[in-house]
């Protein structure tokens, strides 16, 4: 039941705003389900890919996708994605570096806050400076490959505040962008064998109806309200990642302290 509920509510967020596929699912699988970090990332890639595959036709049929921006974002994000996954494979434990998760959470929370400061937004930036989009997308792909988080949340926040698109177009464009990254990432993680089928199945059973409901509700939300919902969810995702990283770091510190105490005790014995 827990897996079904996680799958449903994350999918509802993805269908409605494009956010949550990685930012919410990985912490949930780590902290609630108890999956090893590499399996949590790999399982999330496949789960998020299926959700975006279902959501994509809704936004394509309503012409709420900017193919030019998708192409530019992928030029930078795909190389970053591959490098991020190679780094994850080398480290073999995404949770071993909680500082990276904390940094992503802070970046996401701060960038989401820009939505509530109109003076900082530059809607014409992407149209006037398209050559910058691949460079801005590279770190998004890098983080997505390492933790599966970032493609939806950071991509949405970037387009929401620095492109001329409506909130619905931003969500549609980011869902297609995230879909391509999820397909590539899911295929590579499948070859690594880092996917938990027993967890993935109930996630999808809850997620498929959730993403359909989210996609059906999205067009009914006024643009301003949708923009606010997207920004708030991105902010929550950022704070969730910070909390997850701090929780992991505290756990590691506690474990190391216990080991050190045991070592000292063992040495002190006659």
The answer to whether the CB of 173 falls within 8 A of the CB of 165 is yes
Given CA atoms 161, 164, 170, 174 in this order, what sign does their dihedral have? negative
pLDDT in tens, 13-34: 888 877 777 777 877 787 788 7
Mean residue pLDDT of the chain comes to 80
pLDDT in tens, 60-97: 988 889 999 999 999 999 999 888 888 777 765 544 46
Could you tell me where the beta strands, DSSP code E, fall in 19-174? Answer: none
Q: Residue 4, class by beta-carbon neighbours within 10 Å (0-12 exposed, 13-18 middle, 19+ buried)?
A: middle
Q: In this predicted structure, what is the pLDDT of residue 115?
A: 63
Q: In this predicted structure, what is the pLDDT of residue 129?
A: 87
Residue 125 has pLDDT above 70, yes or no: yes
Q: Report domain extents, the chain.
A: 2-246
pLDDT in tens, 165-177: 888 888 889 889 9
What angle (nearest 5°) sits at the alpha carbon of residue 88, between those of residues 91 and 103? 95
Residues 6+ apart with CB under 8 A from 93: 36, 37, 38
pLDDT in tens, 144-156: 777 666 666 778 8
């Amino acid at each position: 039941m827990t897996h079904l509920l996680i799958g449903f509510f994350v999918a509802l967020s993805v269908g409605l705003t494009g956010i949550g596929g990685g930012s919410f699912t990985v912490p949930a699988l780590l902290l609630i389900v108890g999956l090893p970090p590499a399996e949590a990332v790999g399982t999330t890639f496949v789960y998020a890919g299926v959700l975006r595959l279902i959501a994509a036709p809704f936004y394509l049929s309503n012409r709420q996708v900017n193919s030019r921006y998708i192409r530019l974002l992928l030029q930078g994000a795909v190389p970053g994605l591959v490098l991020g996954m190679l780094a994850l494979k080398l480290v073999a434990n995404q949770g071993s570096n909680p500082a990276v998760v904390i940094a992503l959470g802070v970046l996401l929370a701060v960038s989401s806050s820009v939505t509530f400061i109109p003076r900082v937004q530059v809607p014409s930036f992407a149209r006037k400076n398209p050559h910058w989009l691949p460079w801005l997308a590279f770190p998004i792909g890098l983080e997505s490959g390492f933790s599966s988080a970032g493609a939806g949340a950071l991509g949405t926040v970037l387009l929401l505040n620095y492109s001329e698109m409506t909130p619905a177009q931003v969500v549609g464009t980011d869902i297609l962008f995230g879909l391509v990254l999820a397909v590539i990432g899911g295929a590579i993680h499948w070859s690594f064998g880092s996917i938990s089928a027993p967890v993935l199945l109930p996630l999808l059973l809850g997620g498929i109806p959730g993403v359909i409901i989210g996609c059906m509700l999205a067009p009914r939300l006024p643009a301003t309200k949708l923009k606010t919902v997207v920004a708030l969810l991105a902010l929550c995702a950022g704070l969730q990642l910070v909390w997850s990283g701090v929780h992991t770091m505290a756990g590691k510190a506690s474990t190391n302290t216990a080991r050190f105490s045991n070592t000292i005790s063992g040495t002190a014995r006659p």
